[in-house]
Amino acid sequence: MSRLIIVSNRVAPISEGGPAAGGLAVGVYDALKETGGMWFGWSGDVLSSGQLEIQLEERGPVTFATIGLLRRDYDQYYRGFSNATLWPAFHYRADLIQYDRHDFEGYCRVNTWLAQQLVPLLRPDDVIWVHDYHLIPFAQALRAAGVKNRIGFFLHIPFPASQVLLAVPPHRSLVEALCAFDLLGFQTAPDLRAFCDYIVNEAAGAVEVRPDGLTSVRAFGRTLRAGAYPIGVYPDEIAELAKAGERGKPVRTLKATLHSRKVIMSVDRLDYSKGLVERFRAFERLIDLAPAQRNQVSFLQIAPPTRADLHAYQDIRLRLEAESGRINGRFAELDWTPIRYIHRQYERSVLAALFRASHVGYVTPLRDGMNLVAKEYVSAQDPENPGVLVLSQFAGAAQELGGALIVNPFDIDGMADALAIALAMPLEERQARYRDMMAQLRENNVSVWRDNFMRDLARAGERSEDAVPPAASDGPVPQVPLAAE
Ligand code: GDG
């Protein structure tokens, strides 16, 4: 069996079976343990100067290979192009794009450098699986270093519509770099369609859906495969974690302070893509227009800090603090605080238990590749008395979770209506919706996601052996109609 090499910006901090590890990390780590292999990426250390060396840590059949970044590389590759250009663009926030050509050069330079660090560790039959937007040029860099292995890429965030992607000045180089992979995985069919649209209409390439359901893509002198692989969770493990915490201190504390009021709950990294301000306003609309809800329901928002050294993130934090202060100032009573906004991280097990104790899971990103919180909320529910999920139509998860109340996060009244419906929903309907969503989550858990991707990568590799090698192309390539294969 080929070894699996996982490449991601950060290497997940796995302590085997530990409560901190999320489903994605565990799912990927399980695969590594099965095949043997390596997880390669940035250690999280930023050094102002000096020599950087790979640190290797063996854990059974798995090697963790991590390396630090120099301050300038961190600023250009991570803070700059990855998170100030690509993140807003891929989340449809063209207004927040900050582009600096030196940052893009740094992004490419770090990708090349990281690839060069990996090359000596590779064996000829290793299968390489690269994750996310930080590493779009990684396959191109490996190919330039002579690597012939199969290389797949999974994009965890949305792929934007062409008209938005065109706002990123080096859009063409990015898509050309993506075409150096053998298999591209997107979260949802709409993301895959957006990519194909760019290939056909902006890159003069061609796409064709094959009998096996995968899309064959020809562009920039290469043939590759692309597909949608919605990422999942381990729903039964989350359910166990939630049940185990049902009588724990955090839940007891919450319940004691709620005095039998209902609770609406959200958990998000404090990111402008998550729609937090709109969500706060919709909760305000609910208690404003339905006085009967006042003092009957509290909204618990947990939003741990993220990328706090970027201006756009400082801005969203200030806006949210202002909104929660304003709304609480307007409606709070001596014994009731409408919004409990907590800017801090909690243990995974505590979150699961709090999800189970909440009546409504309120997950309303303006854009999200998938949104695992939506899936975790459903998984954590008590089957006998489940809560209701209110979910944005712009989360990838909405493609699968039809049992949620689907809302448009730009429609404040619509969200307030959905909250009212969720809070009043009869038990039977809640149970039916929960059963429907739980069946879907079990059917497409994180192992299924991983196995489907790896199966298709093995196949894509077989086919792309005879593909035209990547070449730097300056202009559009002529459109090549695909023969049925
Ligand atoms: C990207 C894409 C895609 C959150 N707060 C705490 C905490 N979390 C955990 C959640 C969940 C994870 O972090 C967040 O995952 P999401 O999917 O919701 O969002 P992103 O971080 O933006 O992830 C996204 C995902 O990649 C996977 O492909 O779904 O669309 O943007 O697991 O529970 N965990 C702990 N404490 C917290 O306070 N322990």
DSSP string, 383-435: TTS--EEEEETTBGGGGT-TTSEEE-TT-HHHHHHHHHHHHH--HHHHHHHHH
Distance 168 CA to ligand 1 centre (A): 25
Find out whether the beta carbon of 132 lies less than 6 Å from any atom of ligand 1: no
Residues 6+ away with beta carbon under 8 Å from 216: 207, 208, 209, 210, 223, 224, 225, 482, 485
The C-alpha atoms of residue 388 and residue 430 are separated, in whole angstroms, by 6
Residue 50: per-residue pLDDT:
80
- Tell me, what's the pLDDT at 210? 94
Whole-angstrom Cα distance, residue 45 to residue 81? Answer: 18
Closest atom, ligand 1, to C-alpha of 271: 22
**Is the CB of 369 within 6 Å of ligand 1?**
yes
Per residue in 78-124, pLDDT tens? Answer: 999 999 999 999 999 999 999 999 999 999 999 999 999 999 999 99
User: How far is the centre of ligand 1, averaged over its atoms, from the C-alpha of 23 (Å)?
Assistant: 10
Evaluate whether 249 touches 284 at the Cβ level (below 8 Å): no
Residue 18 has pLDDT above 80, yes or no: no
Atom of ligand 1 nearest to the CA of 368: 30
Give one DSSP letter per residue of 93-138, joined into a string.
Answer: -GGG----HHHHHHHHHHHHHHHHHHGGG--TT-EEEEESGGGTTH
Q: Is the CB of 231 under 6 A from ligand 1?
A: yes
- DSSP-assigned states of every residue in 45-98: EEESSS----EEEEETTEEEEEEEEEHHHIIIIIIIIIIIIIHHHHTT-GGG--
pLDDT digits (tens, 9 = 90+) for 332-376: 999 999 999 999 999 999 999 999 999 999 999 999 999 999 999
Question: Could you tell me if 199 and 219 are in contact, meaning their C-beta atoms sit under 8 angstroms apart?
Answer: yes
pLDDT greater than 70 at residue 291: yes
From CA 442, how far away is CA 397, in angstroms rounded?
A: 14
pTM of the model: 0.94
The per-residue b/e assignment along 298-322, b for 16 or more CB within 10 angstroms, e otherwise, is bbbbbbeebbeebebbeebbeebee
* Beta-strand relationship, 360-363 and 388-392: parallel
Q: What pLDDT band is residue 456 in, cutting at 50, 70 and 90?
A: very high
CB 15 within 8 A of CB 31: no
What's the 20 CA to ligand 1 centre distance in angstroms?
A: 12
> Cα-atom radius of gyration of the chain, to the nearest Å?
23
CA-wise closest residue to 106 among 85, 90, 88:
85
DSSP 333-369: BTTB-SEEEE-S---HHHHHHHHHH-SEEEE--SSBS
Higher pLDDT, 43 or 475: 43
Ligand 1 nearest atom to the CA of residue 348, by list position: 39
In the prediction, which pLDDT does 462 show? 66
For 400-422, the pLDDT digits (tens) are 999 999 999 999 999 999 999 99
- Please report the pLDDT score of residue 455 as a whole number: 95
105 neighbors 76 (Cβ within 8 angstroms)? yes
Positions annotated as catalytic residues are 156, 368
Bridge partners (DSSP) listed for residue 152: 129, 183
Say yes or no to pLDDT of 260 above 50.
Answer: yes
348 lines ligand 1 (CB under 6 A): yes
**Mean pLDDT for the stretch of residues 257-279:** 96
Task: Report the SS3 class of residue 152.
Answer: strand
User: What is the rounded distance in angstroms from the CA atom of residue 140 to the CA atom of residue 327?
Assistant: 50
- 8 A C-beta contact, residue 400 and residue 230: yes
Residues 435, 436, 442, 448, Cα dihedral to 10° = 180
Q: How confident is the model at residue 49 (pLDDT cuts 50, 70, 90)?
A: confident
Amino acid at residue number 223: T
Cα(185) to centroid(ligand 1), Å: 19
Tell me the CA–centroid distance for residue 304 and ligand 1, in Å. Answer: 10
Tell me, using a 6 A CB cutoff, whether residue 164 lines ligand 1.
Answer: no
Picking from 299, 300, 307, the residue whose alpha carbon sits closest to that of residue 271 is 307
Is the distance from CB of 178 to CB of 146 less than 8 angstroms? no
Point out the ligand 1 atom lying closest to the alpha carbon of residue 344: 38
Q: What is the pLDDT of residue 25?
A: 77
Average pLDDT, the chain: 92
- Closest Cα to residue 157, out of 371, 470, 474? 371
- What is the set of domains in the chain, with CATH numbers? 4-231+446-459 (3.40.50.2000), 236-442 (3.40.50.2000)
CB atoms near residue 406 (< 10 Å): 17
